[in-house]
Structures are given as C-alpha cells and as structure tokens.
Amino acid sequence: MMNLNDPASPIHIRADGPIGWLMINRPDKRNAMTQAMWEAVPKAAAALDADPDVRAIVVASTCEMAFASGADLAELKDIAEHPERREANRQAIRNAQRSLARTSKPTIAMVRGAAMGGGCGLAIHCDFRFAGMGARFGIPPAKLGLVYPLNDTRELVNLVGFSAARRMLMTAEVIDARTALAIGLVDSVQDDEELEGAVLAFAGRIAANAASSVRGIKKTLRLIADGQVDDDAVTATMFLDAHDSADAAEGIGAFLEKRQPDFKWNG
C-alpha cells in the first residue's frame, strides 16, 4: 500500500494553503507509471478533494526531465503475458485519469519535460494544462502496436479536435510546448523558471471565487463532455438552489457594496 503522505512515495500529496499538490515521483525511471502508481492516483485525488482547505489541485512531477513518460513498458510486457492482469491494468489507468476529471475541485497539470502516452493522458484529463517551454507531448501507441483507449481519445478530441488528434495518434509524433499551445492541448506556456509561479497565480484566481460555483461549473462541463445536451432535474436544481446559497448572498452583497467577496469554501 502506497503511503500518500510520504514524500519518497512514487505518488504522494501535500497541501500548501489552498493548493493541493499531487506529485509523481519516480525520477530514476522518468516517472514511468506502474500499475501501483495508477492505482494510487484516485486515492490521492480523493484525499485532496476531501481536504476542506484545498481549493485547487495541481498535478506535478518531482522530476524536471518528465511529467510522466507513460506506462512502465517492462511491467507492461509482463502484464501482456497474463490476460487476467490486462483488464486490471486497463481499469487502473482509466480510473486514475478519470479521477482527475471528476474531482469536485479544479485540477491543473503543471508539465515539465516529457508527457508521453498515459502521462499525456493524465494531463489531458486535468481541467487545465500549464507547460514549461521544455515540455514535450506524445502519444506513442501506434509505434508500440497498441491502441489508445476510447476515453483518452475522446478527451484528446475535445481539446484539439479530430484533425490534430488524428495526426498525434496516427503519426505518434512528439510535439513541443508551442505546438501544443497552438493546437489547444495546453492552456499556457511559460519559461520553465516561471511555470510554478504562473500556475499558483492562476490557481489563486480560481480559489478566490465561490466554491459552490466552481463545483457546479465543473460538474456542468463534465456532463456536457459526457454528452448531456439540456437541463435535467439535477442541473435545474443546481441552478435554482444556488440563489439561496451563502455564496450567492456573499457574492451579490459584495457586488452591491463595491467590495471583494469573502467566500468560505468549507471543503
């Protein structure tokens, strides 16, 4: 069992005020992801999501050379020889990536170095992606005789469109940070030494807003990404109940009084 609070653990977490950090930490293997690491990600995301002081979650690496270089291919070769392990590994990867898309709090990937294959998938499933100038992105299954999962492919298409997704997947080419920005794969590119400051400033802007609004917005966007096209009872209730919330009272009051709102997050 991985100790998520141990800084030496391949997946670990910490909270710095309103920012929760989910750290990938296997620098000797350029953060190649083992099944145990995939299985730890949802637990780490859930722990930060449940922390009442955390307002945004940053997914980052302790290794400047790589955000995550994808699956550990030595382990993957062994898994391929045991059909019963293939499905468990597939589920572990899927659950890890989906957990970042489905936290109630916003997730931000801070990408330095290589984000390849499943590592690129981790970034894709975050709500935002900030890249250092030296970041590189690639999805290499076509070079390995493998097929990228539908869930990952859908998230990629939602970001970059079919044309750019086809090119990334079918050529397996590696693109630099500027190209990633141009096609919409990342939201911002910064000099490497300025990347963390830019991420923290952006996270701070989110943290200054109302918790209920941020959660509701993320949930609504996820429903749209999953195919919902109109309000149902759940989304209509979200809209109506917001009017009676403490956040609405504070936000509207602050606007009328011409002051900055002081929202209480409460988890």
Verify that 58 and 124 share a domain, yes or no: yes
Verify that 27 and 40 share a domain, yes or no: yes
- Radius of gyration in angstroms for the set of CA atoms belonging to the chain, rounded to a whole number: 19
pTM above 0.85, yes or no: yes
Instruction: Confirm whether 2 is domain-assigned.
Output: no
CA distance 169 to 181: 17
Distances from the Cα of 176 to the Cα of 29, 58, 110, 124, 128, angstroms: 21, 21, 15, 15, 17
Tokens of 51: 């922390």
- Residues with Cβ within 8 Å of residue 47, at least 6 apart in sequence: 4, 13
What length is written for the chain? 267
Verify that 250 and 238 share a domain, yes or no: yes
Strands (E), the chain: 11-16, 19-24, 56-61, 66-68, 107-111, 114-116, 128-132, 136-138, 175-176, 188-190
Instruction: Confirm whether 263 is domain-assigned.
Output: no
Q: Are 186 and 175 in contact (CB under 8 A)?
A: no
CATH number at 99 reads 3.90.226.10
Instruction: Confirm whether 163 is domain-assigned.
Output: yes
Verify that 134 and 179 share a domain, yes or no: yes
pLDDT value at residue 117: 94
Q: Are 199 and 58 in contact (CB under 8 A)?
A: yes
CA distance 174 to 168: 8
pLDDT value at residue 121: 96
pLDDT value at residue 265: 66
Tally of domains within the chain: 2
The full DSSP string for 116-133 is ETHHHHHHHHSSEEEEET
pLDDT value at residue 113: 97
Per-residue pLDDT of the chain (267 residues; tens, 9 = 90+): 789 999 999 999 999 999 999 999 999 999 999 999 999 999 999 999 999 999 999 999 999 999 999 889 889 888 888 888 999 999 999 999 999 999 999 999 999 999 999 999 999 999 999 999 999 999 999 999 989 999 999 999 999 999 999 999 999 999 999 999 999 999 999 999 999 999 999 999 999 999 899 999 999 999 999 999 999 999 999 999 999 999 999 999 999 999 999 987 654
CATH number at 219 reads 1.10.12.10
